Structure 1
Amino acid sequence: MKIAHRTAALLCSFAVAAGASLAGASAHAEEKKGLPEVAVIGTGGTISGVSTNRVSFQDYRSGQLAISKMVDELRPEVNGLAEVTTEQFGNKGSGGYSIADYRKLTASVDSALKKNDAVVVTTGTDTMEEFAYWLDLTVRSDKPVVLTGSMRPWTVIGTDAPANLYNAIKLAASRKTKCYGTVVMLNDEIQAAREVRKSNALRMDTFESGRSGVLGAVDQDNIRLNRAPARVQKCGKAGWRTPFDLDRIVGRVSAKESKPLPKVEIAYSYQDAGGEAVKAFADGGAKGVVTAGTGAGGISPAMSTARTDAVKKGVTFASTTRTGSGAVYDSTGTTGVIGAEDLSPQKARLLLLLSLAATNDEKLIREWFATLGTAQFTTR
């Protein structure tokens, strides 16, 4: 009889424990269900680099660690921020990617945003500003897209890599940058894709936004936003999206092959610069050329002559300044030459490339440079 009672008591305790376990699992599932879903897409770069030793801050191989491993190293802390999934898009330095790769990355980001609340993209810092601006112009969803990377590889003492990735996921999960377009998150600072630039080859605080200033900062549990890109004014409206829907403007050669995007190059001006580079670009099939001029966009006499000849061949030019600050305002009196205002040469190139893919109408391209390229808040 005692054995029977003990057995019954034991079975009862198992039932209670099982019930508690199921209740706990259910509560955990409900808790997880309430978290935002964030996809982290890895493309490589220093952030996934492996150093030769723990103090080799500049001697390392980039693009070595899988993004899944990097995110796993942030657990369990990151589990409280979001339901995080990973996708390995690629694993190499940012400078190793082509415009064709950029197109595929846009497709990956758009696809991930259909299933998730936000996306984080990790990449190398060398051309991160171009990655960011490309996605800013081409991603169709208004959900948060956050780019991050690091100036030191994952495996060295004092690396900024894990903190940058964690903060990027935190920012994405907060969904505070909805309708901001693409933003960059490094060194605790949040920066707009249009303005952000790499200002130093080695320092960890390399990214800045010139006189526009940062959007805000992540201070541990606090996400502070002090300003926003002008496009947030169109949040929820059709005008928020750019005209650069790659599936629509590019077209396909066949079922498996997309048409190539127009070739656009950059020519740098300096004292007594020759016109050979501009001529070579025009003869080589470039549809557009961005000039990085002195002061407010000035170019040498030889470059100017070469530009005039290239315009006659149908090449469209965007004029920028090499100074890193200031603007080249548009002069509609100069056929074939569009002022890119305060866009950097490398970002003006991306906008010109996408514009030429969408239209041959110079007037419309000028309008896009004045509105998309230099978006401003309006009172209308």
Structure 2
Amino acid sequence: MKIAHRTAALLCSFAVAAGVSLAGASAHAEERKDLPEVAVIGTGGTISGVSTNRVSFQDYRSGQLAISKMVDELRPEVDGLADVTTEQFGNKGSSGYSIADYRKLTASVDAALKKNDAVVVTTGTDTMEEFAYWLDLTVRSDKPVVLTGSMRPWTVIGTDAPANLYNAIKLAASRKTKCFGTVVMLNDEIQAAREVRKTNALRMDTFESGRSGVLGTVDQDNIRLNRAPARVQKCGKAGWRTPFDLDRIVGRVSAKEETKEKTKEESKPLPKVEIAYSYQDAGGEAIKAFADGGAKGVVTAGTGAGGISPAMSTARTDAVKKGVTFASTTRTGSGAVYDSTGTTGVIGAEDLSPQKARLLLLLSLAATNDEKLIREWFATLGTAQFTTR
């Protein structure tokens, strides 16, 4: 469902009903034409939650409020920022969405960006970092995409939900993150999709970017940007876009419900990629099961700089022989696993988290079987750095 405030005729009819001149209504319509156009896409999560009572901070039902209702509760404040429309993509917890749903979300964001200056997506926070990185890798427009959510439901005292949504719309409307890719805005802080992680199950300051630090902050009327993702260096160039054009590599998927008439190409699934966690004396059964179950890729969350147990190493070697591609990450939460091109079938993911390395590997395997090219994508796109050239 969409709610638009772009019809001058509707403004005029309201004006007549209120006894305001048509000239005044027309002037108001002209003022609104100068505002940036921002689409807000709702997917559910805690931000749309309804609590049992006003102090049940963790006892609530998520995905209860429509995004249109939430935005309407912020009017007239957001009307001074942008011409805002809303779209209800879904209304459930972030963990309830599949990779097939992610494909449709990309299609929805792409469609909205063709008509608007920026897009805000509301999600649950549990897998928000994965929502963000997926969109960062698959949305082809360089217009701002801002994700937000909340750690407390909309209906409790002290909720962060309305402020986060307002600030996300404010940031999107400013268009200051053009060419940044997807960013996350919660708790007044702006974070890059690639680095941001949820670090606490309950606290409102849960999202952090490790040693990279936040991109900036939203302080009431001030939007401060102290750094930018490295990809901003390619702004305006063809190389800014990632190679993951979903329409090309896996076939077009409508943002609407898929029809029975879809072609085989249109229904082509993305490859299966799993994560195997290493620990003291870890067995190799998980890796073997993933390989036997049809996984094209596996990410290992290793100890230290990517170490895995002997049993896991043996299972990985066997899986590589079967054509499974591995990405090596660390479970420590910081540091890097550097690539060693001499290890066939195993790619170092540097400082990508296991869950984000999985998304990059999944999309890479959807696009190509060329291991050398996938290594190049991990070394450039996956670990983009500023250059002086």
| TM-score bucket (shorter structure) | over 0.9
SS in structure 2 of the partner of residue 55 of structure 1: coil
Shift of the 50–366 alpha-carbon distance from structure 1 to 2, 3 Å rule, reads same
Corresponding residue for 1:170?
170
Q: Please tell me whether the aligned partners of residues 167 and 218 of structure 1 are also in contact (alpha carbons under 8 angstroms).
A: yes
**Alpha-carbon offset, residue 2 of structure 1:** 54
2:344 pairs with one of 335, 338, 350: 335
Shift of the 22–350 alpha-carbon distance from structure 1 to 2, 3 Å rule, reads same
- Percent identity of the aligned residues? 97
- In structure 1, how many angstroms separate the alpha carbons of the residues matched to 2:4 and 2:379? 86
SS in structure 2 of the partner of residue 6 of structure 1: coil
Q: Please tell me whether the aligned partners of residues 276 and 300 of structure 2 are also in contact (alpha carbons under 8 angstroms).
A: yes
**Alpha-carbon offset, residue 251 of structure 1:** 2.9
**Alpha-carbon offset, residue 169 of structure 1:** 0.1
Q: Please tell me whether the aligned partners of residues 253 and 259 of structure 1 are also in contact (alpha carbons under 8 angstroms).
A: no
Q: Please tell me whether the aligned partners of residues 120 and 146 of structure 2 are also in contact (alpha carbons under 8 angstroms).
A: yes
Give CA deviations for 1:328-366 in whole Å, capped at 9, x if unaligned: 000000000000000000000000000000000000000
SS in structure 1 of the partner of residue 224 of structure 2: strand
Shift of the 341–24 alpha-carbon distance from structure 1 to 2, 3 Å rule, reads same
Which deviates further from its counterpart, 8-17 or 325-334? 8-17
- In structure 1, how many angstroms separate the alpha carbons of the residues matched to 2:10 and 2:114? 49
Corresponding residue for 1:97?
97
Shift of the 294–25 alpha-carbon distance from structure 1 to 2, 3 Å rule, reads same
SS in structure 2 of the partner of residue 242 of structure 1: coil
Q: Please tell me whether the aligned partners of residues 275 and 305 of structure 1 are also in contact (alpha carbons under 8 angstroms).
A: yes
Q: Please tell me whether the aligned partners of residues 195 and 210 of structure 1 are also in contact (alpha carbons under 8 angstroms).
A: yes
**Alpha-carbon offset, residue 258 of structure 1:** 2.0
Q: Please tell me whether the aligned partners of residues 273 and 296 of structure 2 are also in contact (alpha carbons under 8 angstroms).
A: yes
Question: Tell me, which stretches of 5 or more residues in structure 2 are unaligned?
Answer: 256-264
- In structure 1, how many angstroms separate the alpha carbons of the residues matched to 2:368 and 2:6? 83
- In structure 2, how many angstroms separate the alpha carbons of the residues matched to 1:7 and 1:367? 48
SS in structure 2 of the partner of residue 365 of structure 1: helix
Number of aligned pairs?
Answer: 380
- In structure 2, how many angstroms separate the alpha carbons of the residues matched to 1:6 and 1:240? 32
Shift of the 326–22 alpha-carbon distance from structure 1 to 2, 3 Å rule, reads same
**Alpha-carbon offset, residue 33 of structure 1:** 0.4
Which deviates further from its counterpart, 12-21 or 263-272? 12-21
- In structure 2, how many angstroms separate the alpha carbons of the residues matched to 1:148 and 1:184? 6
SS in structure 2 of the partner of residue 20 of structure 1: coil
**Alpha-carbon offset, residue 94 of structure 1:** 0.1
Q: Please tell me whether the aligned partners of residues 140 and 241 of structure 2 are also in contact (alpha carbons under 8 angstroms).
A: yes
Shift of the 300–28 alpha-carbon distance from structure 1 to 2, 3 Å rule, reads same
- In structure 2, how many angstroms separate the alpha carbons of the residues matched to 1:363 and 1:7? 52
Q: Please tell me whether the aligned partners of residues 252 and 259 of structure 1 are also in contact (alpha carbons under 8 angstroms).
A: no
**Alpha-carbon offset, residue 112 of structure 1:** 0.1
**Alpha-carbon offset, residue 310 of structure 1:** 0.1
SS in structure 2 of the partner of residue 151 of structure 1: coil
**Alpha-carbon offset, residue 19 of structure 1:** 10
Give CA deviations for 1:61-118 in whole Å, capped at 9, x if unaligned: 1000000000000001110000000000000000000000000000000000000000
Pairwise CA RMSD? 7.2
**Alpha-carbon offset, residue 8 of structure 1:** 31
Give CA deviations for 1:16-71 in whole Å, capped at 9, x if unaligned: 99997122111100110000000000000000000000000000010000000000
1:347 pairs with one of 335, 348, 356: 356
Question: Tell me, which stretches of 5 or more residues in structure 1 are unaligned?
Answer: none
Q: Please tell me whether the aligned partners of residues 268 and 292 of structure 1 are also in contact (alpha carbons under 8 angstroms).
A: yes
**Alpha-carbon offset, residue 5 of structure 1:** 42
Which deviates further from its counterpart, 6-15 or 25-34? 6-15
- In structure 2, how many angstroms separate the alpha carbons of the residues matched to 1:62 and 1:90? 12
- In structure 1, how many angstroms separate the alpha carbons of the residues matched to 2:13 and 2:352? 70
Shift of the 204–179 alpha-carbon distance from structure 1 to 2, 3 Å rule, reads same
SS in structure 1 of the partner of residue 313 of structure 2: helix
Q: Please tell me whether the aligned partners of residues 2 and 87 of structure 2 are also in contact (alpha carbons under 8 angstroms).
A: no
TM-score (norm 1): 0.94
- In structure 1, how many angstroms separate the alpha carbons of the residues matched to 2:136 and 2:280? 35
Larger Rg: 1
Q: Please tell me whether the aligned partners of residues 5 and 83 of structure 2 are also in contact (alpha carbons under 8 angstroms).
A: no
Q: Please tell me whether the aligned partners of residues 12 and 26 of structure 2 are also in contact (alpha carbons under 8 angstroms).
A: no
SS in structure 2 of the partner of residue 324 of structure 1: coil
- In structure 1, how many angstroms separate the alpha carbons of the residues matched to 2:8 and 2:225? 60
Q: Please tell me whether the aligned partners of residues 36 and 173 of structure 2 are also in contact (alpha carbons under 8 angstroms).
A: yes
Shift of the 187–8 alpha-carbon distance from structure 1 to 2, 3 Å rule, reads closer
